[in-house]
Amino acid sequence: MIKGTTKSTFLLLAFLTLSLSASAQSSSGSTNYLLYGLIGVIGLLLLVAILMVAENLLHIEAKQMGVDKSGTNYSIFPNGEEIFKGKSGSLPSGASVTALKRGHDIKLAGEAEKVINADIAGTTFALQPQNFIGISPIPKVTVEKGDEVKAGDPLFFDKKNPSIIYCAPVSGEVMEVRRGEKRSIKEIIILADKEMKHRTYDLPDLATCKREDLVEFLLASGAWPMIRQRPFDMVADFNIIPQNIFISTFDTAPLAPDNSFIVEGQGAAFQKGLDVLNKLAGNKVHLGLSAEGASSVFAGAQGVEINYFSGPHPAGNVGVQMHHTSPIDLKDPAWVLGVQEVLTIGKLFAEGKFDASRVVALTGDELDAPKYVRTYQGANVGELVKGNLKGDNTRLVAGDVLSGKQTSADSFLNFFDDQITALEEGNEFEMFGWLLPLSPRPSVSKTYPNFLFPDLKFKANTNTHGEKRAFVVTGQYEKVMPMDILPQHLMKAILVNDFERMEGLGIYELSEEDVALCEFVCTSKQPLQQILREGLETMREQA
Amino acid sequence: MGLLDFVKKIEPDKKKSPFLHTLFDGFFTFLYSPDTVTKGGVHIRDGMDLKRTMVVVVLAMQLCYVFGSFNIGHQHFAATGQYTAFLDGFHLKLIYGLIQLIPIFIVAHVVGLGIEFWYAAKKGHAIEEGFLVSGALIPLIMPPDIPLLWLAFAVAFGVIIGKEAFGGTGMNILNVALLARVFIFFAYPTTISGDEVWVAGLAESGDTLATTYNWFHTGLFNGIFESLGWDTFQAGMPVVDGYSGATPLALAFKEGWGAVTEQYSTTQMFWGAIPGSIGETCKPFILIGAGILIATGIASWRIMLSMLIGAVACAWLFNMWGVTPFMEVPWLYQFYMGSFFFAMAFMATDPVTAASTTTGKWIYGFLIGFVGMIIRVINPAYPEGWMLAILFMNVFAPLIDHYVIESNMGRRAKRNKITGVAVPVTPVAEAVAEH
């Protein structure tokens, strides 16, 4: 608000100076105008000064009283948005709403139809150690080929952190322990039983148990890896009590699954999961909701702080929400979870069984029938999209098109994936494609007429639409980055390994998905996510 | 895809002839967008690339080219008192302008692109698009009578010292086009700063200036015009009495606004039918170009606006001060003269050499406007300031950015101090679950 006031004051002054000087000129020779003008300017400056002091005093007072939260307006000026904002009936009164302006929604064709399909769950599932950031590449595998496992039985553990167990998402027979480069473990594949068998647990009583016991149970049960820790997006460190735990309940990425739809009918499990997390958090569990409408399961969640966010992608990214709620730092990490991870933890406590079932959205224009399917963590990609692909020049992406990983029919979904996107490979030359493109393509640039058709859904392909260049254009990342971060300068700091700048410019607040949109818009086609990950890895080694 | 197959067939071998291959690649990627697909990172990319960015800038300045080439002819004939109405002798003026402009355009591009291609081949990377814009800008900021050899030197200087020495497009500190211009300015100071250079085609004959023509005028086009029954180029026409060829700025510097209006009307100055560098005179067309750049979001409106504010503020202060005739020129009229708008639209907004932070852009633009006006009004040698002001601020842009970045870092450090509560460490008892 202060910033806004200064800006408007500046503009006002500039305008005044112009008009004054114009009038002074038009009546050249008369110094009276000049005198009046000067008096006027001084008077105005005084008024502005008084207003600013009053404004600041009000802010200080509000801060001291502890009522200065986001969404409140302790200012002598009404907030412009408050005046012009339409009545949003769906939001409860007094809700904290953060309106994010910067960003961009990439509208793609191929949204999943809102029906959950349960009969194509697949038969093979895999757990991939490489999905977990921060564990050693060769974990200790505790099963062998041919072993029978139940859902929730340990498959491997990290030698550095033996207490954290990584467990089987389904019951069945271990088909293969597949190794990758340098004998690292790539994936442990399980052929699933038709009837799921679950490991049994002695559940601690949530109401009475101590935090230590709860942590111990989560570690031993295999549910711990569901929790990630920012900065670095790594497996949560069980030796700390994080101040805050963040859950974003909506995903604004292109074609992303609708969590409000997925969570339907599972309100009890979700609430149970939140109760567990509440015991783990030092301060609060924060739930980020879409101001454009959210399931009553989310809006009615108990014992958590609910923050509403409106605006284009990446408003749904948990990193953005953390930045606007309670920014993190290396010394002040936060834990983050996705909605479906909360459900798994909730069901563990509600039903006493490890239920790694996942609703996965099959999306993209290259699918005959984009839809939701109910399966389990680490499902085989090929089995899920079988018979549903239009052509064969198709790229399968585990996740969304911005931050997902390229995958193939014989690969498995990653641990946290809830989406598969199929899109056309753009491996074709296009005559004068840079100047007069033959087909519409998503772009934030106003040199394309896209902005005239806000509802047009694009059929995008994977062509780079240009070659990689040095950073030339400035300010374009900032336009799609709703945080107080200078992405281009941060990237340059990473490239030259300037630790102080990386830290100072907020590398800890970012994860790949937060810069993915910057990478999309980049005129120079720079690999920002890769640069950021390299920077994060450097900092993690330093830490 | 017959054409594609044909073009692919003539592709030179990269190892045997790297230069030819680079050349081929440069032209091929113009003809066809490459078939490269995304790998690791995002899977779809925005349709915007550097080629498209650059070509929009080039398109935005096309009207300046149209007007510039005609105005070269108009000034030439105005000096001798022929066809004084703007559109009289249309074919003569246009042809004269084109004969003057096209060689400048060709030399600028052959030299600049040649160096660019050579460096690209030597370094083994693709040809970068930066010179597309520099090469289009350079002819527009040159005096119409520029000797082509000087121009070649200037372009080579700008591209080699200004850009390639720093690593190519995106790495340069100084604006390449302005560096070429400043080379001319400092290397040939006596010729470039007089009144004669702004009007083309006048040479000393006896004790007066008179028109001179070459084969293209008298041989080629006079023949065509005669056969059509049109007017022809007349060599040896003397300039009208009292003609100086001085630009409004030169007049204003010596004798103030009164002297300017004796020779040029404000309408004339606004529309650009005055002597000056080729592309800088026509304000409406430059503003259309600026409008295109702002509407497409390619150039920063912040820099343009703050530069305008800076220049107005400075001119206004000079009005207050008013010790020389030039200082007393009403601030509004400062914008009728000289190349302020061209510098604002196309020079100051170069993203590589400008400040790269949003706040930095405001400061950068304002200072260019302010400093440029100081140079224009006070500098006795050369009454125009934008070239020097922009180059000056190019050098300071990283410093401005540095402080903006520092303030961002300071804000974060302060915030972390307030909210950053140290995390209590609880020793979770002896590791759980034995395996």
Asked if residue A503 belongs to a domain, the reply is: yes
Pick the residue from chain A with its C-alpha nearest to B432. Answer: A163
Nearest to A423 among B43, B313, B426 (CB): B43
Give the H/E segment covering residue A206: none
With contact defined as beta carbons under 8 Å apart, do A481 and A518 qualify? Answer: yes
The predicted structure's pLDDT at residue A15: 59
A472:B426 CB<8 A: no
Non-local CB neighbours of A220 within 8 Å, separated by 6+ positions: A163, A165, B432, B433
Closest approach of B50 to chain A, Cα-based (Å): 6
- Chain B residues closer than 8 Å to A227 by CB: none
Number of A/B CB contacts below 8 angstroms equals: 285
- Domain end, chosen from A334, A351, A368, is at A351
As a whole number of angstroms, the distance between CA A248 and CA A335 comes to 12
Pick the residue from chain B with its C-alpha nearest to A142. Answer: B435
Both B263 and B399 in one domain: the answer is yes
**Which residues are bridge partners to A374 per DSSP?**
A359
Both A221 and A344 in one domain: the answer is yes
Count the domains in chain A.
3
Asked if residue B435 belongs to a domain, the reply is: no
> Nearest Cα to A3, choosing from B309, B364, B314, B358?
B358
Question: 3-class DSSP state for residue A406?
Answer: strand
Asked if residue A328 belongs to a domain, the reply is: yes
- Domain end, chosen from A351, A371, A402, is at A351
As a whole number of angstroms, the distance between CA A100 and CA A479 comes to 11
Both B59 and B172 in one domain: the answer is yes
The predicted structure's pLDDT at residue A38: 86
Q: pLDDT tens, position by position, for chain B (435 residues)?
A: 578 888 888 888 877 888 888 888 888 888 888 889 999 899 999 999 999 999 999 999 999 999 999 999 999 998 888 888 888 889 999 999 999 999 999 999 999 999 999 998 888 888 888 888 999 999 999 999 889 999 999 999 999 999 999 988 888 999 999 999 999 988 887 777 667 778 888 887 777 788 888 888 888 999 999 999 888 888 888 888 877 778 888 888 888 888 888 889 999 999 999 988 999 999 999 999 999 999 999 999 999 999 999 999 999 999 999 888 888 889 999 999 889 999 999 999 999 999 999 999 999 999 999 999 999 998 877 768 899 999 999 999 999 999 999 999 999 988 887 655 545 554 444 444 333
Number of neighbours of residue A447 by Cβ within 10 angstroms: 19
Both B149 and B283 in one domain: the answer is no
Q: Does A155 touch chain B (CB under 8 A)?
A: no
Count the domains in chain B.
2
As a whole number of angstroms, the distance between CA B405 and CA B398 comes to 10
Nearest to A446 among B297, B319, B421 (CB): B297
Closest approach of A294 to chain B, Cα-based (Å): 28
Asked if residue A323 belongs to a domain, the reply is: yes
Which residue range forms the structural domain that includes residue A247?
211-351
Question: 3-class DSSP state for residue A458?
Answer: strand
Asked if residue B203 belongs to a domain, the reply is: no
CA A237 to chain centre: 20
Both B23 and B150 in one domain: the answer is yes
Beta-strand ranges (E) seen in B286-363 are: none
Asked if residue A54 belongs to a domain, the reply is: yes
Asked if residue B136 belongs to a domain, the reply is: yes
Which residue range forms the structural domain that includes residue B101?
12-31+50-197
Both B271 and B173 in one domain: the answer is no
Non-local CB neighbours of B110 within 8 Å, separated by 6+ positions: none
Asked if residue A7 belongs to a domain, the reply is: yes
Question: 3-class DSSP state for residue B418?
Answer: helix
The two tokens of residue B133 are 């814009």
Mean pLDDT of A86-97: 68
The predicted structure's pLDDT at residue A27: 44
pLDDT one-digit tens code per residue, A312-366:
999 999 999 999 998 998 888 999 999 999 999 999 999 999 999 999 999 999 9
As a whole number of angstroms, the distance between CA A72 and CA A58 comes to 12
Both B176 and B324 in one domain: the answer is no
Give the H/E segment covering residue A120: none
- Chain A residues closer than 8 Å to B404 by CB: 486
The predicted structure's pLDDT at residue B194: 65
Both B143 and B276 in one domain: the answer is no
- Chain B residues closer than 8 Å to A474 by CB: 300, 351, 354, 356-357
Asked if residue A29 belongs to a domain, the reply is: yes
Number of neighbours of residue A37 by Cβ within 10 angstroms: 17
Nearest to A446 among B295, B420, B423 (CB): B295
Both B166 and B266 in one domain: the answer is no
- Domain end, chosen from A30, A61, A85, is at A85
As a whole number of angstroms, the distance between CA A333 and CA A258 comes to 28
Asked if residue A244 belongs to a domain, the reply is: yes
ipTM metric: 0.89
> Nearest Cα to A216, choosing from A279, A136, A170, A159?
A279
B428:A212 CB<8 A: yes
The two tokens of residue A56 are 């600041």
- Chain A residues closer than 8 Å to B4 by CB: 429, 431
State the DSSP code for A92.
Answer: P
A445:B46 CB<8 A: yes
Interface of A with B in 351-380 (CB under 8 A): none
pLDDT one-digit tens code per residue, B225-263:
999 988 888 888 888 887 777 888 888 888 888 888 888
Q: For residue A70, what pLDDT band results from cuts at 50, 70 and 90? A: low
Both B70 and B154 in one domain: the answer is yes
- Cα atoms in the 13 Å half-sphere on the side-chain side of A380: 16
With contact defined as beta carbons under 8 Å apart, do B338 and B141 qualify? Answer: no
Asked if residue A119 belongs to a domain, the reply is: no
Question: 3-class DSSP state for residue B97?
Answer: helix
Asked if residue B250 belongs to a domain, the reply is: no
B48:A448 CB<8 A: yes
Asked if residue B248 belongs to a domain, the reply is: no
- Chain B residues closer than 8 Å to A395 by CB: 37, 43
Non-local CB neighbours of B108 within 8 Å, separated by 6+ positions: B135, B138, B139, B151, B155
The predicted structure's pLDDT at residue A84: 57
Asked if residue B389 belongs to a domain, the reply is: yes
The predicted structure's pLDDT at residue A438: 80
As a whole number of angstroms, the distance between CA A194 and CA A178 comes to 23
Number of neighbours of residue A496 by Cβ within 10 angstroms: 9
